[in-house]
Chain A
Amino acid sequence: MADRAHSLAVSDRMFTRHGTGLFLLGALALALVLLGPLFLDRFTQNVLTRSMIYAMMAITVDLLWGYTGILTFGQSAFFGAGAYATALILTHIGGGMQNFALALALSVILPMVLAALVGWLSFYHKSTPLYASVISLVVPIVLTQAIFAGGSFTGSSSGLVGYPVMKLGAANYFRLAGVALILFAALSWIIVRSDAGRVLVAIRDNPLRAAYLGIRTQKVQILLMTVLGGIAGLCGFLYANAGRIVAPEIAGFGFGTQMIVWTALGGRASIFGPALGAIGIDYLGAQLSGSMPYVWQLIIGVLFVAMILFVPRGLVGLLPRRKHSGAAPALVALPDQRQESGRDALLTVSGLRKAYGNFVVLDGIDLKVRPGELISVVGPNGAGKTTLLRCLSDGTETIEGNITVVDKDIAGRPPEDIVALGIGRKFQVASVFESMTVAECLRLARTTHERPSLWHRASTIELPSAALEILALTGLNKKLGEPVSGLSHGMRQSLELAMVVAMQPRLILLDEPTAGLTKAERTLIGEVLKRLTQNLGYAAILIEHDIDFVKEISQRLVVLHQGRLVMDGSVEEVVNSELVRSIYSGMAHD
């Protein structure tokens, strides 16, 4: 309500983007729920009121699981917490406007606190999605147990009933639930299509790359879980008022898994699919399950497995998919910015040792990198080159020795913190976001510089000119609207390189950036890197096998062999040394 102007702007954009169709659909749905009670019988009204509340829950699950990749069985816990907060206040304190307001506030706040706690428990550096899922199973079980143990305070297994509720009448509860659902669906729809929505998908597709773009993935996940916990609590408030009862099962994991079924059958990552899935299955279930519950559950179970196996996108996935019709955003060049260079060392590594059990990968590494330097690391396979880059970009790796970036010890800092210190890393195997377009990937690389909007997609992407050059070299600038999944190996390499450069890091870590590129492309990339380092003051550490390429662009060469840094010197020195020849003599050029 606060940003009236903002939402007007949004609807404007909706008109231009997807035509008036969706807007009309929303208006039609709104009219339907407002007029519905006039022609729907009492049974349908009552059942649909509940189904629509469930539909909102399904959307929260969709946002978490479908869009962000957090498979949660525990959304019911927040729903239950909200419903119980409401029922407890109304039972033990009583009705009246003031208490309804209090119940409303608590039914949002309490689940949010709980959700934040669960988020903290579920998401930390290197936590697995599986772990988060299992935690989401534990939460409703513990909450239900607490409700059971609450005796007459919580009503135990019988639940709470007979408390004063907002006297709106069945028809108005139907309208309220309907309007809430439409608003929430519309809001979710707008958000998932915004730039911020892309951040969620980025976390789902490739959390590692997202973290190495400086996106605080865990923070986003916890925040999302907290906000959606609040929404679930709100649904619980509605439910407790409309249904006039709360029972432990609404907080249980059985209900939590039901939401997954609605979402999976309706179509994850589509907002409308899960909402329709919830309404359809709950309404149909009300019609059919009364007389044959086991067969009904069997059918749902079989359908569910079949959908997961063969139609992972759900029923919505069976509809013809509309191509991304929106025009790709325009690229805008940022003015070249010379990195400050006064410091003597950007990166200092001293006495680095890294071992897995008894297996020592790196030992006794000392290295200094100054602004403007391009250092190539060479050495045979298994020398520890990639491990070195990992240790430089992830402070949570257990190592001995010290690594400092601009005088700050990186020990204990996760990758996104190190990105904030000015280090960008390109992986050996191109790591991009599979379900996105080229433009979306580039936009994500700029997340730390430009806060992505929750409401719309920016029509331009500002990139440093070096990134633009890389894109132009491989023709990617002509494929901005195309999905990444269709790109060739070489193009993906350049895209990731462009993304890393777009972050404008002080120090770029490049793990074989030119593998898969043609000779010509390589040379051009080499030119770009030279310009970045020599003219603009970036520093770079490059792992490369192609000695000719290395000779061409590097200022210094570092030789790793069996985990030790055996040489560090100018290109001439190193290339002509006996040591390097002997190391490389057994190794085939690739």
Chain B
Amino acid sequence: MKNAKPTCLCLLLATALVSGPALAQEGEPITIGVPVGLSGANSVIAPAVVQATQLAVEQINASGGILGRPVKVVVADDASGAAGAQTAYNTLVFQNDVDVLIAMETSAARNAGLPIVEEGEKPFIYSSFYEGRSCSPNMFVNGWVPEQQVPPVVEKLMADGARNFFLIGSDYAFGRGMLEFSRKYIEDKGGKIVGEEYLPMEGSDWTAILSNLRSAGADAVITSTAGGTPNVTLTKQLRASGISIPYANLAVDEGTAKAMGADGVGILISASYLTAIDTPENKDFIAALEKKFGGEMRTPNDLSTPQYEAVYLYKAAVEKAGSTETEAVLAAFPEVSFKGPRGEISMSKQHHAPLTMYLGEVQADGSVKVVAEFPNVDPGDQCPDL
């Protein structure tokens, strides 16, 4: 992490954010509430998410706001957990009375927030990838679910000749959800699971699991750990143990993979966003981030880019509905789309979004090369009742 600065970025961001946009339009501002894990497990990723929000809002305000009204952002820390989320949502919904909530959060935080969102009757876009099947009339999702992310990885590994898979995860909803789906998918495709092991999220000693992996005779390993620490400890220890079978990681972001240096090389990543995506929208997005944040810029990733797009999706929905009124906005959400860095996004399938998925491989220089592209992958039946 060559440009880590001896200051807490999130602090600067948070204080800078409360003071609204520079360009003022006519009318009452539209307020976007962003509950996010400034502290706790998500705090590594949160600054990038806040930057993405900030950029989208600045761009929107510069081009006349939404329905001619300026847009304002209020960020609240959810401490990456349920109790923090209750506080954050209560603050945003009942104290700040925001018009919409757009949030990249842990599942626990999302679950804690949902009842408050429903109680306060607000529209809510969840911009994080997750294990799937969370449904609420007020919530729309524009990140991926297992049905979208796992197939590219498995297909690539199988195309390269892998038949016996070993699955390793952190013991939490996402880790288990992803691997459960992977197991089903691999077995449907005729592959074999030779081992499936979980370590608690706080655990940092993977020795026993790696020994089991070594003796299981697997020819590929797929991991789905909690972001951050477990990812790093597992990769470091996996590499140090001399195991060299193909390694796909369902939960590593590009920045972390890069930061791992030599240990990261060769990891397969499946994502709906990679910085290497070669489209004008993505290039403009990165350039705009660089211009706005300079040295403080955080590498955009598969969590911050959907957040950026979600702000635009909200704009589109409000403009279609002609008001910020919750029911109208919710009705407009499945109808609208936005062409962003990840391509054309529309939350049209049971409150979830069909997405183009990319398979990347970490290179020796730390960059991630796109090795395959899977257009318009369907999220499957996430919320049949909606």
Which of A's residues lie within 8 Å of B, judged by CB? Answer: 41-43, 46-47, 50, 145, 148-149, 151, 155-162, 170, 243-250, 255, 285-287, 289-295, 297
Alpha-carbon separation in the docked complex, A334 to B94 (Å): 66
Interface contact B94-A46, CB-CB below 8 Å: yes
B38 lies within 8 A of chain A by Cβ: yes
For B14, give the chain A residue with the smallest CB separation.
Answer: A291
Counting from the closest, the 7 A-B pairs by CB-CB distance are: A247-B82, A157-B172, A43-B94, A293-B39, A158-B107, A161-B111, A290-B76
Which residues of chain B come closer than 8 Å to A287, judged between CB atoms?
91
Interface contact B106-A290, CB-CB below 8 Å: no
Contact of A245 among B38, B112, B172 (CB under 8 A): B112
Interface contact B94-A249, CB-CB below 8 Å: no
Task: Please give 11 more A-B residue pairs, beta carbons under 8 A apart, in addition to A158-B131, A294-B10.
Answer: A43-B93, A46-B86, A47-B90, A157-B172, A159-B108, A170-B119, A243-B86, A247-B108, A250-B82, A255-B83, A289-B79
Interface contact A290-B91, CB-CB below 8 Å: yes
Alpha-carbon separation in the docked complex, A230 to B95 (Å): 34
Interface contact B94-A156, CB-CB below 8 Å: no
Contact of A156 among B77, B93, B171 (CB under 8 A): B171
Which residues of chain B come closer than 8 Å to A286, judged between CB atoms?
87, 90-91
Alpha-carbon separation in the docked complex, A340 to B338 (Å): 97
Which residues of chain A come closer than 8 Å to B200, judged between CB atoms?
145, 148
Which residues of chain B come closer than 8 Å to A41, judged between CB atoms?
94-95
Within 150-191 of B, Cβ neighbours of A (below 8 Å) are at 171-174, 176
Given A157-B106, A293-B79, do A149 and B87 touch, yes or no (CB 8 Å)? Answer: no
B217 lies within 8 A of chain A by Cβ: no
B101 lies within 8 A of chain A by Cβ: no
Which residues of chain B come closer than 8 Å to A250, judged between CB atoms?
82-83
Which of B's residues lie within 8 Å of A, judged by CB? Answer: 8, 10-11, 14-15, 18, 38-39, 75-77, 79, 81-84, 86-88, 90-91, 93-95, 106-108, 110-112, 114-116, 119-120, 131, 171-174, 176, 198, 200-201
How many whole Å from A257's CB to the nearest CB in chain B?
A: 13
Interface contact A247-B112, CB-CB below 8 Å: yes
For B96, give the chain A residue with the smallest CB separation.
Answer: A43
Interface contact A244-B77, CB-CB below 8 Å: no
Given A247-B82, A247-B83, do A157 and B94 touch, yes or no (CB 8 Å)? Answer: no
Interface contact A157-B11, CB-CB below 8 Å: no
How many whole Å from B3's CB to the nearest CB in chain A?
A: 20
Which residues of chain A come closer than 8 Å to B81, judged between CB atoms?
247, 249
Alpha-carbon separation in the docked complex, A246 to B200 (Å): 19
Interface contact A43-B95, CB-CB below 8 Å: yes
How many whole Å from B99's CB to the nearest CB in chain A?
A: 16
Interface contact A156-B173, CB-CB below 8 Å: yes
Interface contact B83-A290, CB-CB below 8 Å: no
Interface contact A291-B18, CB-CB below 8 Å: yes
Which residues of chain A come closer than 8 Å to B115, judged between CB atoms?
161-162, 243-245
Which residues of chain A come closer than 8 Å to B131, judged between CB atoms?
158
Which residues of chain B come closer than 8 Å to A293, judged between CB atoms?
38-39, 77, 79
Which residues of chain A come closer than 8 Å to B176, judged between CB atoms?
151, 156
Q: Which of B83, B86, B95 has the most CB of A within 10 A?
A: B83
For B120, give the chain A residue with the smallest CB separation.
Answer: A42
Which residues of chain B come closer than 8 Å to A290, judged between CB atoms?
75-77, 87-88, 91
For A160, give the chain B residue with the smallest CB separation.
Answer: B111
How many whole Å from A354's CB to the nearest CB in chain B?
A: 45
Which residues of chain B come closer than 8 Å to A297, judged between CB atoms?
39
Alpha-carbon separation in the docked complex, A255 to B77 (Å): 17
How many whole Å from A169's CB to the nearest CB in chain B?
A: 10
Interface contact A157-B90, CB-CB below 8 Å: no
- Contact count A vs B, C-beta below 8 Å: 118
Given A43-B95, A149-B171, A285-B87, do A294 and B39 touch, yes or no (CB 8 Å)? Answer: yes
How many whole Å from A200's CB to the nearest CB in chain B?
A: 30
Which residues of chain B come closer than 8 Å to A244, judged between CB atoms?
115
How many whole Å from A52's CB to the nearest CB in chain B?
A: 14
Interface contact B173-A158, CB-CB below 8 Å: yes
Q: Which of A243, A287, A289 has the most CB of B within 10 A?
A: A289
Interface contact B77-A47, CB-CB below 8 Å: no
For A47, give the chain B residue with the smallest CB separation.
Answer: B90
How many whole Å from A198's CB to the nearest CB in chain B?
A: 36
How many whole Å from A238's CB to the nearest CB in chain B?
A: 14
Alpha-carbon separation in the docked complex, A246 to B171 (Å): 17
How many whole Å from B380's CB to the nearest CB in chain A?
A: 18
- Between A and B, 15 residue pairs with Cβ closer than 8 Å are A41-B94, A42-B94, A46-B86, A47-B87, A149-B171, A156-B172, A157-B108, A157-B172, A161-B115, A247-B82, A249-B108, A250-B83, A255-B83, A285-B87, A290-B75
Interface contact B112-A50, CB-CB below 8 Å: no
Interface contact A291-B77, CB-CB below 8 Å: yes
Contact of A43 among B82, B90, B112 (CB under 8 A): B90
For B115, give the chain A residue with the smallest CB separation.
Answer: A244
Which residues of chain A come closer than 8 Å to B108, judged between CB atoms?
157-159, 247-249
Interface contact B171-A291, CB-CB below 8 Å: no
Alpha-carbon separation in the docked complex, A291 to B79 (Å): 11
Q: Which of B81, B110, B114 has the most CB of A within 10 A?
A: B81
For B97, give the chain A residue with the smallest CB separation.
Answer: A43
How many whole Å from A355's CB to the nearest CB in chain B?
A: 43
Interface contact B76-A291, CB-CB below 8 Å: yes
Alpha-carbon separation in the docked complex, A245 to B118 (Å): 13
How many whole Å from A73's CB to the nearest CB in chain B?
A: 15
How many whole Å from A146's CB to the nearest CB in chain B?
A: 10
Interface contact A157-B83, CB-CB below 8 Å: no
Alpha-carbon separation in the docked complex, A252 to B86 (Å): 17
Interface contact A245-B111, CB-CB below 8 Å: yes
Given A157-B108, A158-B111, do A245 and B82 touch, yes or no (CB 8 Å)? Answer: yes
Given A286-B90, A291-B77, A294-B11, do A148 and B172 touch, yes or no (CB 8 Å)? Answer: yes
Q: Which of A145, A155, A290 has the most CB of B within 10 A?
A: A290
Which residues of chain B come closer than 8 Å to A145, judged between CB atoms?
171, 200
Alpha-carbon separation in the docked complex, A243 to B83 (Å): 9
Interface contact B11-A292, CB-CB below 8 Å: yes
Given A161-B112, A290-B76, A293-B79, do A148 and B201 touch, yes or no (CB 8 Å)? Answer: yes
Which residues of chain B come closer than 8 Å to A159, judged between CB atoms?
82, 108, 111-112
Given A43-B90, A159-B108, A290-B77, do A249 and B11 touch, yes or no (CB 8 Å)? Answer: no
Interface contact A243-B94, CB-CB below 8 Å: no
For B81, give the chain A residue with the smallest CB separation.
Answer: A249
Which residues of chain A come closer than 8 Å to B93, judged between CB atoms?
43
For B135, give the chain A residue with the smallest CB separation.
Answer: A162
How many whole Å from A253's CB to the nearest CB in chain B?
A: 11
Which residues of chain A come closer than 8 Å to B79, judged between CB atoms?
289, 293
Alpha-carbon separation in the docked complex, A247 to B84 (Å): 11
Alpha-carbon separation in the docked complex, A22 to B120 (Å): 38
Interface contact A249-B174, CB-CB below 8 Å: no
How many whole Å from A255's CB to the nearest CB in chain B?
A: 7
Contact of B173 among A47, A157, A246 (CB under 8 A): A157
Alpha-carbon separation in the docked complex, A2 to B89 (Å): 42
How many whole Å from B131's CB to the nearest CB in chain A?
A: 8
Alpha-carbon separation in the docked complex, A148 to B107 (Å): 13
Which residues of chain A come closer than 8 Å to B114, judged between CB atoms?
161-162
Alpha-carbon separation in the docked complex, A250 to B93 (Å): 23
Alpha-carbon separation in the docked complex, A161 to B183 (Å): 26
Given A156-B171, A291-B18, A294-B8, do A247 and B111 touch, yes or no (CB 8 Å)? Answer: yes
Contact of A292 among B14, B95, B116 (CB under 8 A): B14
Alpha-carbon separation in the docked complex, A66 to B115 (Å): 36
Q: Which of B10, B95, B110 has the most CB of A within 10 A?
A: B95
Contact of A249 among B10, B15, B83 (CB under 8 A): B83
Interface contact A157-B77, CB-CB below 8 Å: no
